[in-house]
Amino acid sequence: MATQTLVGASYLLRGLSLIHRPGLRLYAYIPLAINTLLFATLIWLGAAQFGTLIDSLLPQWLDWLRWLLWPLFAITMAVVAFFIFSMITNLVAAPFNGMLAEAVERQLTGQEIHQSGTWKTLLQEALPAIWMELNKIGYFALRAIPLLILFFIPGLNIVAPFLWFAFSAWMLTLEYMDYPMGNHGVTFPEQRQRLQQHRLLGLGFGGATMLANSIPLVNFLVMPSAVAGATVLWVTQLKPNSPEQERSSTTQNVSGQPEDVTAASSHESRAEIR
């Protein structure tokens, strides 16, 4: 159990090592540079305008409480700025993440992902893509709301943080696995079904991603690393004819054909990360 969780967490580190390779840097560094510029601009504007904002929000008769209210306002603004920046980061990086996942898989397998980029294909895929996103929102809401209610129930609120951590880790896994799996047309229900067969791997990967995301400055590299790591996880564990899938089928095959083992070794060597 612990081994599978640690293996899942290791995929984030494998993704971090991949994004600096030639052919992949472009998809990781461009959104990173844009987000760094946006973050620096946000900090500069906040520092320059914070005093003016405090003066406008703080009534004259509460001026004597400035020493107490100032840090409270500062913390509140920092939290708001963090969430705004996170949303901007996701919007900026989103167009690059699918291409990054495709480039990583191409390097690991040596195979192209055959996709048609015509307007007709894009229009045909628009409605299914919107429906998939709505499914994700519904999946998250149906589980997040009951978990949030647990925080207000005496006794049960003791376990609520642990359940919320596990749920958040699982949602991050679904979020990042969508990029490599979506490139192959795997729907959201199918993604969940495949990941449920490797639940501990998924929780380990999502948990490591969430912890890394809470570390200042390190969180700048989390998104591209998680996309690359999720792609490695897809290629080696979840993709049909992956090394792990072939190893399992060969083990379960009573006849034990030698060519099956050879094929599995061939795929595994091709997906190996140096």
pLDDT score of 255 more than 50:
no
Q: How confident is the model at residue 271 (pLDDT cuts 50, 70, 90)?
A: very low
User: Residue 90's pLDDT is what?
Assistant: 67
Mean pLDDT of 232-251: 72
Mean pLDDT of 215-224: 84
* C-alpha separations of 218 from 82, 138, 209, 211, 266 in Å: 14, 30, 11, 10, 36
pLDDT score of 126 more than 70:
no
pLDDT tens track for 48-97 = 766 676 666 666 666 666 666 667 776 766 666 666 666 677 667 777 88
Q: How confident is the model at residue 208 (pLDDT cuts 50, 70, 90)?
A: very high
Q: Which of 76-80, 85-89, 187-191, 193-197 has the highest mean pLDDT?
A: 193-197
User: Residue 66's pLDDT is what?
Assistant: 65
Closest by CA to 204, choosing from 172, 159, 162, 243, is 172
Q: Are 227 and 100 in contact (CB under 8 A)?
A: yes
Looking at this protein, which amino acid is placed at residue 102?
E
User: Residue 153's pLDDT is what?
Assistant: 86
Q: Please compute Rg for the chain using Cα positions.
A: 22
Domain extent listing, the chain: 2-20+95-239
Q: How many other CB atoms are found less than 10 A from the CB of residue 117?
A: 6
Which sign does the torsion angle of CA 114, 119, 123, 124 carry?
negative
Give, in degrees to the nearest 5, the angle at Cα 64 between 59 and 69. 70
pTM here is: 0.72
User: Residue 114's pLDDT is what?
Assistant: 63
pLDDT tens track for 12-40 = 999 999 999 998 988 888 888 887 887 78
User: Residue 124's pLDDT is what?
Assistant: 57
Q: Which of 77-81, 94-98, 140-144, 204-208 has the highest mean pLDDT?
A: 204-208
Classify each residue of 260-271 as buried b or exposed e, where b means 16 or more C-beta atoms within 10 Å of its C-beta. beeebeebeeeb
Burial of 118 (0-12, 13-18, 19+ CB in 10 A): exposed
Q: How confident is the model at residue 269 (pLDDT cuts 50, 70, 90)?
A: very low
Q: What percent of the chain has pLDDT over 70?
A: 64
Q: How many CA atoms lie within 13 A of 159 on its CB side?
A: 3
Looking at this protein, which amino acid is placed at residue 50?
F
User: Could you give the CA distance from residue 143 to residue 263 in angstroms, rounded to a whole number?
Assistant: 41
pLDDT score of 272 more than 50:
no
Q: How many CA atoms lie within 13 A of 36 on its CB side?
A: 10
Q: What percent of the chain has pLDDT over 90?
A: 22
Comparing 266 with 200, the larger pLDDT belongs to 200
Q: What 3 state SS string does the chain have?
A: CHHHHHHHHHHHHHHHHHCCCCCCHHHHHHHHHHHHHHHHHHHHHHHHHHHHHHHHHCCHHHHHHHHHHHHHHHHHHHHHHHHHHHHHHHHHHHHHHHHHHHHHHHHHHCCCCCCCCCHHHHHHHHHHHHHHHHHHHHHHHHHHHHHHHHCCCCCHHHCHHHHHHHHHHHHHHHHHHHHHHHCCCCCHHHHHHHHHCCHHHHHHHHHHHHHHHCCCCCHHHHHHHHHHHHHHHHHHHHCCCCHHHHHHHHHHCCCCCHHHHHHHHHHHHHHCCC
User: Residue 127's pLDDT is what?
Assistant: 63
Averaged pLDDT score across all residues of the chain:
77
User: Residue 63's pLDDT is what?
Assistant: 66
